[in-house]
């Protein structure tokens, strides 16, 4: 019977014709790695090595830089050949075990619980293909419940659709370039975050000072309690049986954390518009530049209220700092991420069995304040760095979505 042939939805224009259907066992030979324990790892080891758990935590489709070394004698090791594809032989879940990586260097020690696939096909292509098009098929081959195992005789039965070697190489190079772009963006984000962390330490220790628009020094910073510059309170209590499935968003501490991290939350809880209007009239609602700070769970996370936001929030779990306009709330947002504030919050939290940040604690929290003009300069400077970090993160996410779409269309 003639083998069924398939073609991808999207391919490079210089290639034509169908991909050939075959079993992995017909194009590969299988072997196993040899045990390298955690105690066998040495920073000054003679031989680079890969342990199976690192496929889950560190490596992706390409392995060209190895993070571990061992001093086990070479004769007692299983060493890689360039283009080997490795897949864990055991893991915690069926889906996690379906993780393939191509080793681009010869002479790397491959640890136990690793399936080694040797093939004359392009190993990088095969790794991308197995990870994205065949992940569920591999997961279905694995056996076990508490510990999942994947054997070479099972992998040999995996059905594949394979193009010619030149097309494999073209696809492999293309996705390698995309991954390099993602790596560069992640590196850029890391460097921006490191720079921000370092410069914040210098700003809030006053090692770096800003000057006014005439180039003159600003006056000295003053230490004040937050209760001296904000009216600190909470919301009118809303009971659980008053929550609704639609209406005005109702935020708990977890929603404030999400808003602080990303500026967006897919809300699950609401209160009625009628209740919101009543509470707004009687007790007020957060206004632009007010601060909401988590008092339970992940404590001390701060969110600056934006203009025209319509929501209500949980009493007690969230502390409400009402802005008087004399303090730059964006400055305080950055200040809350420093050890100046974090230590005071942690010290207060350690007094109780369950860590909390209360209205009483917030009122007593001591903060070093420059004058409002220097606050604004600092806030604008740090927010500009945040904008660059957020923009880079958006680029990472868009590139990864683009890559995922291509992977779906370029493999069959």
Looking at the structure, do residues 354 and 391 belong to the same domain, yes or no? no
Looking at the structure, do residues 321 and 239 belong to the same domain, yes or no? yes
Residue 263 in domain:
yes
Helix (H) or strand (E) segment spanning residue 366 = strand 366-369
| Integer CA distances (angstroms), 301 to 8, 72, 265, in order | 47, 48, 15
Helix (H) or strand (E) segment spanning residue 375 = helix 372-410
Residue 7 in domain:
no
CATH number, domain of 378, equals: 1.10.287.1120
Nearest-angstrom CA–CA distance, 187 and 167: 30
Residue 5 in domain:
no
Residue 14 in domain:
no
Instruction: Provide CB contacts within 8 A for 382, sequence distance 6+.
Output: 196, 199, 200, 203, 330, 334
* Closest among 277, 282, 352 to 310, alpha carbons compared: 277
Residue 13 in domain:
no
Token pair of 128 as six digits: 């991308």
pLDDT, greater one: 326 or 153: 153
Looking at the structure, do residues 381 and 393 belong to the same domain, yes or no? yes
Looking at the structure, do residues 111 and 195 belong to the same domain, yes or no? no
pLDDT digits (tens, 9 = 90+) for 34-54: 988 889 999 889 999 999 889
Looking at the structure, do residues 393 and 322 belong to the same domain, yes or no? no
Q: For residue 84, is pLDDT > 50?
A: yes
Token pair of 105 as six digits: 């260097």
Q: Is 233 helix (H, G, I), strand (E, B) or coil?
A: strand
Q: Residue length, the chain?
A: 412
Residue 6 in domain:
no
Q: For residue 3, is pLDDT > 60?
A: no
Nearest-angstrom CA–CA distance, 269 and 52: 43
Nearest-angstrom CA–CA distance, 140 and 275: 51
CATH number, domain of 315, equals: 3.90.220.20
Q: Provide the CB-side half-sphere exposure for 5 (13 A, CA).
A: 8
* β 159-162/19-23 pair status: antiparallel
pLDDT digits (tens, 9 = 90+) for 99-111: 999 999 999 999 9
* β 28-32/114-119 pair status: antiparallel
Looking at the structure, do residues 247 and 341 belong to the same domain, yes or no? yes
Looking at the structure, do residues 240 and 212 belong to the same domain, yes or no? no
Looking at the structure, do residues 296 and 365 belong to the same domain, yes or no? yes
Indicate the average pLDDT of the chain.
Answer: 92
Q: For residue 64, is pLDDT > 60?
A: yes
Range of the domain at 46: 19-163
User: Among 125, 142, 163, where does a domain finish?
Assistant: 163
Looking at the structure, do residues 151 and 186 belong to the same domain, yes or no? no
Nearest-angstrom CA–CA distance, 325 and 310: 20
Residue 4 in domain:
no
Looking at the structure, do residues 209 and 252 belong to the same domain, yes or no? no
Domain count for the chain: 3
Quick one: CA dihedral 60, 62, 64, 68, positive or negative? Answer: positive
Cβ neighbourhood burial of 149 (10 Å; 0-12, 13-18, 19+): middle
Residue 3 in domain:
no
Q: Please list the alpha-helical segments (H only) found in 142-234.
A: 152-155, 165-204, 226-229
User: Among 128, 163, 198, where does a domain finish?
Assistant: 163
Looking at the structure, do residues 234 and 352 belong to the same domain, yes or no? yes
Q: For residue 2, is pLDDT > 50?
A: no
Looking at the structure, do residues 360 and 262 belong to the same domain, yes or no? yes
In this prediction, residues 69-95 reach a mean pLDDT of: 92
pLDDT digits (tens, 9 = 90+) for 182-238: 999 999 999 999 999 999 999 999 999 999 988 999 999 999 999 999 999 999 999
| Integer CA distances (angstroms), 26 to 30, 117, 121, 242, in order | 11, 12, 11, 64
Nearest-angstrom CA–CA distance, 59 and 305: 40
pLDDT digits (tens, 9 = 90+) for 151-183: 999 999 999 999 999 999 999 999 999 999 999
Dihedrals phi, psi of 190, to nearest 5 degrees: -60, -45
């Amino acid at each position: 019977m003639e083998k069924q042939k398939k073609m991808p939805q999207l391919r490079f224009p210089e290639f034509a014709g169908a991909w050939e259907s075959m079993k992995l066992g017909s194009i590969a030979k299988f072997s196993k790695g040899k045990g390298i324990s955690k105690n066998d790892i040495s920073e000054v080891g003679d031989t680079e090595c890969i342990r199976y758990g690192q496929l889950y935590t560190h490596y992706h489709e390409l392995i060209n830089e190895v993070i571990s070394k061992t001093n086990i004698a070479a004769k007692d090791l299983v060493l890689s050949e360039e283009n080997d594809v490795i897949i864990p032989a055991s893991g915690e879940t069926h889906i996690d075990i379906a993780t393939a990586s191509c080793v681009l260097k010869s002479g790397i020690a491959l640890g136990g619980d690793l399936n080694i696939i040797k093939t004359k096909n392009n190993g990088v292509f095969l790794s991308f293909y197995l990870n994205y098009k065949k992940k569920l098929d591999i997961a279905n081959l694995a056996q076990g419940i508490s510990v999942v195992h994947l054997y070479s005789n099972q992998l040999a039965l995996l059905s594949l659709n394979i193009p010619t070697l030149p097309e494999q190489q073209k696809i492999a190079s293309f996705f390698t370039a995309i991954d390099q772009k993602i790596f560069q963006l992640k590196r850029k984000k890391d460097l921006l975050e490191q720079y921000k962390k370092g410069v914040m330490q210098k700003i809030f220790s006053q090692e770096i000072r800003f000057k006014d628009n005439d180039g003159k020094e600003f006056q000295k910073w003053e230490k004040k309690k937050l209760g001296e510059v904000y009216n600190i309170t909470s919301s009118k209590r809303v009971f659980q049986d008053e929550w609704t499935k639609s209406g005005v968003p109702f935020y708990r501490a977890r929603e404030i954390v999400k808003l602080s991290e990303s500026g967006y939350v897919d809300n699950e809880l609401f209160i009625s518009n009628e209740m919101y209007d009543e509470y707004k009239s009687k007790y007020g609602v957060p206004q632009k530049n007010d601060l909401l700070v988590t008092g339970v769970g992940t404590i001390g996370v701060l969110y600056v209220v934006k203009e025209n936001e319509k929501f209500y929030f949980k009493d007690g779990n969230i502390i409400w700092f009402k802005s008087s306009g004399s303090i730059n709330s964006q400055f305080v947002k950055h200040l809350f991420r420093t050890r100046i504030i974090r230590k005071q919050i942690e010290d207060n939290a350690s007094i109780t069995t369950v860590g909390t940040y209360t209205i009483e604690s917030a009122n007593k929290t001591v903060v070093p304040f420059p004058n409002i003009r220097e606050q604004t300069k600092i806030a604008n400077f740090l927010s500009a760095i945040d904008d660059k970090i957020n923009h880079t993160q958006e680029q990472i996410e868009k590139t990864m979505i683009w890559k995922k779409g291509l992977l779906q269309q370029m493999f069959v």
